[in-house]
């Protein structure tokens, strides 16, 4: 039975009582789930709006970058859990953004999904060489985007690249089977 609404620590402090925080409380608070942070790097307003609408089904926080330099700045400041990165971006291309993120020890672990209208095999090769984790060609299909995002987020705990890739493929397969 809850006698009052709100944070019990704040309620206790209103009465001049100091709450005792145990090690167990600290562990529980540290383990509390936080919202997933996804950075959308898209210079086209309609494309950005569509991606935000697709992500509404996920319990996530999103931010938008409209060019390559802003993308790099936001990744550095905000440390997203995943980046949806358009290739054809002003100021700095998505290929270059991806390379820079992969060469920075602070950001090299962040999963990147490149999204583009480019669909030539050479474009996919360039994206892989830049270090992308996945590649989607426009028009983007909502279910496919969400499957890939969930799989990347679920597999990011793996430390070794091969283990991460294998976990990613297992997760994609699992999500596709559950969606069918």
Both tokens assigned to 136 = 């989607």
Q: What is the residue whose two structure tokens read 């789930």? A: 33
Where are the extended beta strands (E) located within 27-178? 36-41, 60-65, 82-86, 112-116, 134-137
Both tokens assigned to 120 = 């030539």
CA-based diameter of the chain, in Å? 67
Q: What is the pLDDT of residues 71-98, one digit of tens each?
A: 999 999 999 999 999 999 999 999 999 9
Q: Which domains does the chain have, with CATH numbers?
A: 35-145 (3.40.50.2300)
**Three-state SS sequence of 28-66:** HHHHCCCCEEEEEECCCHHHHHHHHHHHCCCCEEEEEEC
Taking CA atoms, 149 is separated from 30, 82, 99, 157, in Å, by: 24, 8, 20, 14
Q: What is the pLDDT of residues 97-119, one digit of tens each?
A: 999 999 999 999 999 999 988 87
Q: 92: how many CB neighbours lie within 10 A of its CB?
A: 16
Q: What is the pLDDT of residues 15-48, one digit of tens each?
A: 444 445 455 444 444 444 578 999 999 999 999 9
Half-sphere exposure of 146 (CA within 13 A, CB side): 17
């Amino acid at each position: 039975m809850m006698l009052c609404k709100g944070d019990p620590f704040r309620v206790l402090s209103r009465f001049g009582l100091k709450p005792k925080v145990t090690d167990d409380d600290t562990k529980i608070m540290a383990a509390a789930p936080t919202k997933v942070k996804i950075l959308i790097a898209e210079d086209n307003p309609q494309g950005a709006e569509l991606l935000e609408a697709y992500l509404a089904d996920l319990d996530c926080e999103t931010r938008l970058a409209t060019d390559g330099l802003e993308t790099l700045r936001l990744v550095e400041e905000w440390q997203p859990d995943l980046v949806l990165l358009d290739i054809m971006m002003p100021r700095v291309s998505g290929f270059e953004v991806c390379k820079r993120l992969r060469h920075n020890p602070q950001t090299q672990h962040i999963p990147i999904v490149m999204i583009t209208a480019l669909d030539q095999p050479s474009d996919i090769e360039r994206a892989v060489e830049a270090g992308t984790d996945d590649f989607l060609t426009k028009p983007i299909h909502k279910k496919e985007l969400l499957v890939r995002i969930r799989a990347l987020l679920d597999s990011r705990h793996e430390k070794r690249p091969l283990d991460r890739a294998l976990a990613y493929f297992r997760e994609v397969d699992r999500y596709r089977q559950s969606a069918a």
